[in-house]
């Protein structure tokens, strides 16, 4: 019996890898639902991180009398805001991908139209 650690290694972001049924059409409804679920979970996790950052910045906002302490806090906030900005851009890409799934255009190479492998998409 596989250990929980080995089972976890088979999960993709907490999701079981998709197993297509024999003869299943590429990007069938269950396949699209699988990718939608993964992307929505990823987006939700990113949004929670944004909320945590806002709360952290509110809680930690202090006017330190020492310039070095103030500079240190400002640098920490700057790094957090840069990370959140990257995540904001990632959320936009996730939304775009969710729309592609909805429009049934997800899963094919934009350049040549060839199917992209399921494992690669996961």
Tell me the β-bridge partners of 15.
12
Per-10-residue mean pLDDT of the chain, 122 residues long, equals 50 77 91 95 92 79 78 86 92 97 94 91 86
pLDDT digits (tens, 9 = 90+) for 20-32: 888 899 999 999 9
Q: Give the pLDDT of residue 69.
A: 81
The CA distances from residue 51 to 47, 54, 58, 109, in Å, are 6, 5, 11, 34
Q: How far apart are CA 51 and CA 57, in angstroms?
A: 10
Statement: the pTM of the whole predicted model exceeds 0.85: no
Residue 30: what pLDDT? 93
The CATH label, of 1.20.1290.10, 2.170.150.20, 2.60.450.10, 1.20.120.910, for the domain at 28-121 is: 1.20.120.910
Where are the domains positioned within the chain?
28-121
């Amino acid at each position: 019996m596989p250990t929980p650690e080995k089972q976890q290694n088979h999960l993709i972001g907490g999701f079981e890898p998709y197993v297509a049924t024999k003869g299943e059409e590429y990007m069938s409804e269950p396949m699209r639902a699988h990718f939608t679920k993964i992307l929505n979970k990823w987006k939700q996790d990113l949004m929670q991180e944004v909320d945590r950052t806002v709360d952290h910045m509110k809680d930690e906002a202090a006017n330190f009398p020492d310039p070095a302490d103030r500079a240190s806090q400002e640098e920490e906030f700057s790094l957090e805001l840069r990370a959140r900005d990257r995540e904001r851009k990632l959320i936009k890409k996730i939304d775009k991908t969710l729309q592609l799934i909805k429009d049934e255009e997800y899963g094919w190479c934009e350049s040549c139209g060839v199917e992209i492998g399921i494992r690669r998409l996961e």
